[in-house]
Amino acid sequence: MILARVVGEVWATRKHRRLQGYKLLVVRPYCWYEPAHEAGHLVAIDPKLDAGRGDDVIICMGAPPRWQSEGDAMPVEAAVMAVVDRCEIDEAAFGPPRPLEFLGGPPPTLAVGRIRTEPIAPGRGRC
């Protein structure tokens, strides 16, 4: 699952029949993991959560989004699983990657980051 912000919406009339009735959202992930491609954005279906532009959402990628259509396998690879109310992130996790000792870099130092306790403010997103 990835954390992403909804930046837009897509409307389509001609589409795969199993996509009928689902909202299509353009989202911008905060961080990628194993992107199947590097388009820099994702289009995810929103089954029933009614997320809108500006919302932070949890996107599930891979097979689980296909379970949502009550048994009908859907041709999607990303779906909105939750709308985020509040998020706490260790800021050190967003720092530059530290070199590994066995690769010849300095030994890693224990990074103790301040935990942000406020919700992600608009405009603070880093990608």
Partner 1 sequence: MFLGVVIGSIWGARQAAGLEGLKLLQVRPVSLPRFGEPGARDLLPGDCPLQDRVIVAADTLGAGPGEHVLVAMGSRVRDIVYDSRKPVKAVVVAIVDSARIAVGEVS
For 31, what's the count of Cα atoms within 13 Å in the CB-facing half-sphere? 7
Cβ nearer to partner 1, comparing 52 with 108: 52
CA dist 52 and 62 (Å) reads 22
Q: According to CB under 8 A, which residues from 65 to 84 bind partner 1?
A: 66, 73-78
Interface with partner 1 (CB under 8 A), residue total 40
CA dist 17 and 68 (Å) reads 15
- Chain residues binding partner 1 by CB under 8 A are 5-16, 18-19, 24, 26, 28, 36-37, 39-44, 53-54, 63, 66, 73-78, 122-123, 125-127
